[in-house]
Structure 1
Amino acid sequence: MQPPGTTLLVIDDDDKVRQRLSALLEGNGHDVIQAADAGGGLALFEKQRPELVLCDLHLGDSQGFELVRQITESGLDVPVIVMSAEGAMTDVVQALRLGASDFLLNPLNDPEVLEHSVRRALDRYRLRLENQRIRERLERANRELEMHLKELRDDQAAGHQVQLNMLPVTPWTSGEYRLEHKLIPSLYLSGDFVDYFRVSDSQLAFYLADVSGHGSSSAFVTVLLKFMTTRLMYEQRKVEGQGRIEFKPSDVLGHINRSLISCKLGKHVTMLGGVIDEQEKTLTYSIGGHLPLPVIYADGEARYLPGKGRPVGLFEDADYQDETIPLPEHFTLTLCSDGVLDCLEGTTLKEKEARLPALIAEQGGCMQGIMAALGLDPNKTMPDDISVLVLSRNAE
């Protein structure tokens, strides 16, 4: 049995043949409509939109050929089976060229061949319709996907611009000190962030942060970091006026730790930050689970600064400590995110960490030399976010 709604149009000017064909087709479960001439057949075709047409090729004055052409050129892609009592090869070739799907010779003589031809034509017709529907759905889905991708690219471009605007000027010189940074995101947006700023007339602050994960969710946390550090400094200045303020790195890490936990973003940060006292010529810094540790280069030697601490935003009871060291007259201090370790020679993390101070010493603490030695290119995609911050004083 055919699916409900299967309608066939039989066009034949011989009433007996047309009635017998219709009876055979109806007996096989088809709904059949009839027409006795080309004009009536075309009118029924346009009105009823059957799924298949069976047409006598030799209607009066050979109108069957013209009718086949009109139906196949209608754009509805409905199959046409032509029928004839004569088997002239020229008729077969012409009918097929006009778009007929099959040619039957005396179909009443072999009902099984007739039904097989009808079923095959209908199966092909429905397959074409289904393919067309699938193609249209795919085209709609592709258009929607392209629209969503454009919105995502626009959002990423806006977020990227926001991050760029939040980053400090590089290089930046303040008094005897020079700071510069390089930041290479693994995606369009970065989970790494650096900042440096003047706290008071005699104090400079800086930090490097590496947010867990990648992409927009991690980049959003960098916005929070910028806001929290700026807000904390503003609140401190309100209390202590325009002079020196107690801007302890450990207090900053503790404040960020509490804030991230309360926000429940599911993100944590490894970071390190420091404050330079230009009067005392000292550096006070604090570590928040960050590796590698900062590397100081002076007198031709490079070494890691001591320190440890838990990641920021994970443990409510985390306690951060301040370390204070005197600053040499000439030095550079290099801070890196852990993505830099992937660029170093070595098979183990310990070997890679041991290599970093030596590499910095070989390059004299110079940012350009460090980037070149690590093979870092701001225009090249990296597997992880990478950031480098170099602070120097009277560096040669």
Structure 2
Amino acid sequence: MDVPKPLIGVLDEPGAYRDALADTIARDGLAVFAAERLEELPAETALVVAHAQAVPSLAWSSLTERLPTVVVSDSRLDADLLTAIDVGLVDYVVEPMRHGPLLRRMIRKAIELHRLEKERERDRERLAQLNAHLEELNESLETHLALLRLDQQAGGHIQRKLLPPHPQTVGGVTCDYWLIPSLYLSGDFLDFQRFDERFTLFYFADVSGHGASSAFVTVLLKYLSNRWLIEWNAERPEHLPSRWLAALNRELLDTGIGKHATLFVGVIDHEERCLHYSLGAQLPKPLLVADGEVTALPGEGMPVGLFPNVEYPRLTYRLPANFRLWLCSDGILECLPGDTLDMRLRELEQRVLTCTSLERLRDSLALGIPPDIDAEGEGSGGQDLPDDLTIMMLSGFGNDHE
């Protein structure tokens, strides 16, 4: 399809000079329309070639505001040419009929520059509109983020209220812990509560991921464990941990939320001084420190919430008179030196062996957690941590404070 020719308006008094000027401009295929006044030019006029004497002195400014303009004159000393130059017109040709190629080149160049300027103006307008739209979106995003932050903080506060008091001592066994979410909500959770004078139950969970969806699973875990504890009749305690894990496995699969967890569930028999437990892919493994040695509690189990019809092991361990049982979420591995998993696990074993309190182990990690974060993560969370971090320590029976 042929590109339409730009229309060039020629402003001059009718006569042979104007006809010759129009003919000179039209030689390169430019469309020309000659007129005596600006108002007579068609609306599609792209550029005006004006004789210096054809435009009143006061009209140059309004002319150049409407259309790109090239001035022609017969003499450089023409007073009307000088007036046009004074108002800012720099494109002019003296004796245009003698310099036709130059005039036509100037016309095409002026049209192109005008087109580019119009495009720049449109781009500036679009950019201004885009910036205004982005500012609106940013304000909306900031508002939503602030609301989300408030919701997360409220959720974190509620989640911390579901944790057991600490430290607490039951039947000669003391439980203490330290839980710090990577932000506000945590996928780590634990509980420790007396069932009766003989049995105390506890669990330690690390739900996959972190944030709101993982935190919701910990609330479900709290609800289910309380319900199952009420339903238990204190018989066959060695079966209880594995039954809990199997039941929780079914519950998580039935929800269809795509979350799984690693868990350790234990029942302490204070009369027999033994631990009945079951575990589901707990990493790091629970570490028992007694008589100057550290031992990983034996046993293997599948993660909870990944596979149907899983059977979890029923395990029992005789507890020494003086022991410390350490349970840590896998977030602690990110805080230990070592190039491999085995190196970090060995480092953890050495640290729990030498640390006689929860505070010592926590301080040895050099996490750089702000001092306004308390032992339950009260505050803004550990933003520098790549994952939630929880440490739980049970100690007894030589530490009976009751």
Give TM-score scaled by structure 1 length: 0.74
More contact order relative to length (CA 8 Å, sep ≥ 6): 2
1:387 and 2:384 aligned: no
Structure 1 regions of 5+ residues with no counterpart?
Answer: 72-77
1:178 and 2:166 aligned: no
**C-alpha displacement at 1:9, in angstroms?**
8.9
Query: Which residue of 2 is the match for residue 368 of structure 1?
Result: 359
The secondary structure found in structure 1 opposite 2:91 is strand
1:62 and 2:65 aligned: no
Between structure 1 and structure 2, the one with the greater Rg is: 2
Task: Label 1:320 to 1:59 Cα distance change in 2 as closer, same or farther (>3 A).
Answer: farther
In structure 1, which of residues 259, 262, 271 is the aligned counterpart of residue 254 of structure 2? 262
**C-alpha displacement at 1:118, in angstroms?**
0.7
1:194 and 2:189 aligned: yes
Task: Label 1:15 to 1:293 Cα distance change in 2 as closer, same or farther (>3 A).
Answer: farther
Query: Which residue of 2 is the match for residue 130 of structure 1?
Result: 123
**Is the contact made by 1:257 and 1:314 (CA closer than 8 Å) also made in structure 2?**
yes
**Is the contact made by 1:51 and 1:122 (CA closer than 8 Å) also made in structure 2?**
no
Query: Which residue of 2 is the match for residue 309 of structure 1?
Result: 301
Residues 291-306 of structure 1 mapped to structure 2, 5 A cutoff: 291-306=283-298
1:113 and 2:101 aligned: no
Task: Label 1:20 to 1:358 Cα distance change in 2 as closer, same or farther (>3 A).
Answer: same
- Tell me the amino acid that sits aligned with residue 109 of structure 2: H
Distance 2:205 2:280 in 1: 9
**C-alpha displacement at 1:380, in angstroms?**
5.1
Query: Which residue of 2 is the match for residue 206 of structure 1?
Result: 202
> What is the root-mean-square deviation of aligned Cα atoms in Å?
4.2
Residues 1-396 of structure 1 mapped to structure 2, 5 A cutoff: 12=11, 14=13, 17=18, 20=22, 24=26, 28=30, 36=37, 54=48, 56=50, 60-67=55-62, 71=65, 80-85=68-73, 87=76, 94-96=86-88, 103-105=91-93, 109=100, 110-134=103-127, 136-137=129-130, 139-141=132-134, 143-145=136-138, 147-148=140-141, 150-152=143-145, 154-167=147-160, 168=163, 171-175=166-170, 176=172, 177-185=174-182, 188=183, 192-198=187-193, 200-202=195-197, 203-214=199-210, 216=211, 219-237=212-230, 239=231, 248-364=240-356, 366-378=357-369, 379=382, 381-393=384-396, 394=399
Q: How many residues align?
A: 368
The secondary structure found in structure 2 opposite 1:271 is strand
Distance 1:256 1:33 in 2: 91
Query: Which residue of 2 is the match for residue 75 of structure 1?
Result: none
Task: Label 1:244 to 1:67 Cα distance change in 2 as closer, same or farther (>3 A).
Answer: farther
Distance 2:254 2:334 in 1: 32
**C-alpha displacement at 1:381, in angstroms?**
0.9
Deviations 1:267-286 (A, max 9, x none): 32222232334454433322
Distance 1:34 1:151 in 2: 62
